[in-house]
Structure 1
Amino acid sequence: MSQEEVGVMRRLREAFGRMPDTRQPGKVLHRLDEVLLCAFCSILCDGDSFTDMEDFAQTQLGWLRGFMVLEHGAPSHDVFRNVFMMLNAQALLELVASWCGPLQGKHIAIDGKTLRGTRDAESGRHLVHLLRAWVDERSLSAGQVLCAEKSNEIEAIPRLLAALELSAATVTIDAMGTQPAIAAQIHQAGAHYVLALKANQKGALEAVQALFGDTAQEAAQPGQPALPAPPPAGALHRETLELSHGRCERREYQLLGCLEGFAKSWKWEGLQAVGKVRREVQRGRDGPPLVEQHYFLCSFKEDIGRFAALVRGHWSVENRCHWVLDVTFGEDHCQVRDKTAAHNFSLLRELVVTVLREHPSKLSLRRKRRRAALDPAFRAELLGPVHT
């Protein structure tokens, strides 16, 4: 391992070392920064549990001692578990968020994810539901909060937004968070928004459908290959066509800045326009296409390209974060049920995903993890670009 690579690892250890250690002095053998760095490297190398961390630390002890002391040898799985249960998730979140940099001008997608491995057998409830503020341009979370027990995301979204510096950013939220108070909070923070509109805001939905010349009955029947209604006068319009994996997808975007006829538009602070997306998907040559129509509230009206990019980009939190954490990192199968430990584990996974993506190799994330486990040279190469 080169001196440059050792220096990067030491800087990462220093970042972990700045986190508060609430363990009782004199009763612990392993330094907090070294335990966290071992855990980070284990996750990077295809480890998905506390026992995997112990196995990695024991088998790779010589490699780890190239940039840390580990005076008392490899930590046990109990040490890793106790540290993850003790560590304040907010401190680790601040490290992850620091990689995003300033949020001005960035797209922040708000979406939630249940950690299904935390399901309690007695109550049948999942103990951890995370709400993420996903920065599309960085593919990393700028903030996270845990949803309170017996509540939904509506309670957590204001807390998450309040923790972010949103000035000049753009926030997108699915229909659960489409609430006048949330729109007002985003607008007052100096940010723009694009909010999905569904039946939970029935009056607003029907008014927007009428503006686009759609009836509630037509819009409530997805999958019907009806002819699209022509864009209303003054609406900005754009169409896209994508062909991939045997699927043809046509998207029609409309953005309308004239809100006459939307009687209660005043309820939505900062509202400047309403949007519509008609999505038509044809799989194979047989059968009718699948047709869906979606409606949105927007705080800007002059840029149809921006609207299209934000609507499409919102789902990067699903396919670049949640799907990756489930499929590549087995998050839904992880049986860590302590809330704090599960949250910290998820944060470290997300940081590892960023490290893997920054490497220029075209290998899949899964192959990068497996190769890192087998090849210490490739492992050091992955850790080279880490910024701390």
Structure 2
Amino acid sequence: MSETAGGLREALAGLPDPRARRGVRHRLTVVVTAAVCAVVAGYRSYAAIAEWVADVPAPTALALGMTPDRRPSEAMIRRLLQAMDPQLLTAAIGVWLAGRTTAATPQAIAVDGKALRGSRTPDTPARHVMAACDQATGVVLGSIDVDGKTNEITRFAPLLDQLADLRNTVITADALHCQREHVTYLAQRGAHWILTVKGNQPHLHAQLTALPWRAVPDATRDTDRGHGRREIRSCKILSISTGIDFPNAAQAIQIRRRRRRLDQPKRFATETVYAITDLRVHQAKPAQLAAWIRGHWSIENKVHWVRDVTYDEDRSQIRTGTGPEVMAALRNAAIGALRLTGVTNIAAANRHHARDSTRPLALLGIT
């Protein structure tokens, strides 16, 4: 059957197959596409993916590119997925998902890391990956491993090197990435940035806290409810042409968050966070800056929380080879594809796609 234009199989066609050519019965595109279909339906492990493949009706198997009487086994799926290059897989999926959005390039990209806690063994620490996510959709556009010999800081530029065009894009990152080398790199790529500032930059943090915030009115203020709590956020913004020891910093931002649990209405917890940006007043309105900062934090809910809670990633027993990172990429693919259809409840969407094997195929552009 021919590849569907714009479908996932077409996007995966250029990936290198780590297997020896001799004896290959199922193409890489067939196995990986079937695995993503199974993950869309809520399946979490190699064995579960193999069960989904074994149970789908013959027409679904044919549409996936396999014969009904010869389907990939659990051992074959496991060996392939734990040998694949997760960065190339994520990049291919990211290009495919980006092509399904209305905008040519995302306005804001959040850079954030996550530990794969289930990959920890008595002898090795948990694997760690860092991803670049489109804030608006929650789609993971690129991903890179952070092994025990390095850290997120040194992997920042290699991660964003996976994205072809960053011009006029806003990169948001947490305090760990408030580094001079990072802003130099982003300037070379034509990107803007918003960086959180905390204690890892004590001199810069002291300069920001010393600014005359009391005399500055709130630029934005909003209230949100969710996860059994209420949060009130206020944002103040100051232009900083001089006095801040950080290259290209144009504005300073103070965010105050007051939270209370809905069952404890009189007990508030207050947190004050500072950020800096190279965006000038005429380039972004206060409401837009506040939305981008809030959008960075929302990646936890859109991606990481779903992988931990819905897909139970932290208890996954997949540990061999690149298996943990590849499975994370498959989960990101499923979440991203579902998000682009307007889905907000991933668990409910998993159940919906589990009830009919043709639904994941339609979602991934397979006919």
Bin for the TM-score computed over the shorter chain = 0.7 to 0.9
User: In 1, Cα distance between the equivalents of 2:132 and 2:64?
Assistant: 33
Cα RMSD of the aligned pairs, angstroms, is 2.6
Shift of residue 339, structure 1, vs aligned partner: 4.5
Q: How many angstroms apart in 2 are the aligned matches of 1:8 and 1:258?
A: 52
Offset at residue 192 of structure 1 (A): 0.9
Q: Structure 1 pair 242/85, CA: closer, same or farther in 2 (3 Å)? A: closer
The structure having more radius of gyration, on CA atoms, is: 1
Alpha-carbon distance in 2 for matches of 1:245, 1:346? 24
Pair 1:206 & 2:206 matched: yes
Q: Distance in 1 between matches of 2:66 and 2:193?
A: 48
Contact 2:250/2:278, CA 8 A, preserved across alignment: yes
Distance 1:244 1:10 in 2: 36
Conserved in 2, the CA contact under 8 Å of 1:356 and 1:382? no
Which among 50, 53, 77 is matched to residue 57 of structure 1?
A: 53
Determine the structure 2 residue equivalent to 1:170: 170
Which residue of the partner structure matches residue 73 of structure 1? 70
Question: Following the alignment from structure 2 to structure 1, what is the Cα–Cα distance between the partners of residues 365 and 212?
Answer: 48
Alpha-carbon offset, residue 371 of structure 1: 3.1
**Secondary structure at 2:210's aligned position in 1?**
helix
- Deviation readout 1:231-274 (Å, 9 max, x if unpaired): 1xxx7722223355764422211111034443x2xxx3321111
Are 1:129 and 2:107 counterparts?
A: no
CA distance in 1, matches of 2:303, 2:194: 20
Aligned counterpart, 1:307: 289
How far residue 145 of structure 1 moved from its aligned partner, in angstroms, is 0.8
Contact 2:3 2:9 in 1 (8 A): no
Q: 1:16 to 1:191 in 2, by over 3 A?
A: closer
Task: Give 1:327 deviation, angstroms.
Answer: 0.9
Query: Hey, what's the Cα distance between the residues in 1 that align with 2:227 and 2:34?
Result: 40
Instruction: Pick from 358, 361, 365 the counterpart of residue 346 of structure 2.
Output: 365
Match of 1:351 in 2: 333
Cα distance in 1 between the residues matched to 2:70 and 2:266:
63
Match of 1:155 in 2: 154
Task: Name the CA distance, whole Å, in 1 between partners of 2:82 and 2:58.
Answer: 27
- Per-residue CA distance 1:262-298 (angstroms, 9 max, x = gap): 3x2xxx3321111101112233465342111110111
3-state SS of paired residue (1:185): helix
Tell me which residue corresponds to 2:183: 183
Report the Cα distance in structure 2 between the residues aligned to 1:245 and 1:85, rounded to whole angstroms.
Answer: 35
SS of the aligned residue for 2:34 comes to: helix
For residue 237 of structure 1, the aligned residue among 203, 210, 219 is 219
Cα deviation, 1:185-207, whole Å, max 9, x if unaligned, reads 11222111110000110000001
2-structure distance, mates of 1:70, 1:306: 48
| Aligned match for 2:92, one of 92, 95, 100 | 95
Is 1:27 aligned to residue 18 of structure 2? no
Alpha-carbon deviations, 1:139-161, whole Å to 9, x = none?
21121111132432112112213
Q: Does 1:280 align with 2:262?
A: no
Identify if the C-alpha distance between structure 1 residues 145 and 173 changes in structure 2 by more than 3 Å, giving closer, same or farther. same
Gaps of 5+ in 1: 214-228
User: How many angstroms apart in 2 are the aligned matches of 1:361 and 1:138?
Assistant: 10
- Supply the distance in 1 between the matched residues of 2:322 and 2:87 (Cα, whole angstroms): 10
> Share of identical aligned residues, percent?
27
Residue aligning to 2:311 = 329
Task: Indicate if the aligned counterparts of 1:10 and 1:67 stay in contact, CA closer than 8 A.
Answer: no
TM-score, length basis structure 2: 0.88
**Residues 187 and 193, structure 1, Cα contact 8 Å, conserved in 2:** no
Counterpart residue type for residue 106 of structure 1:
Q
SS at match of 1:314: helix
Matched length? 356
TM-aligned CA distance change 1:74 to 1:275, over 3 Å: same
1: distance between equivalents of 2:16 and 2:243?
55
Deviation at 1:178, TM superposition (A): 0.8
1:374 to 355, 358, 363: 355
Confirm or deny: 8 A CA contact 1:109 1:172 kept in the other structure.
yes
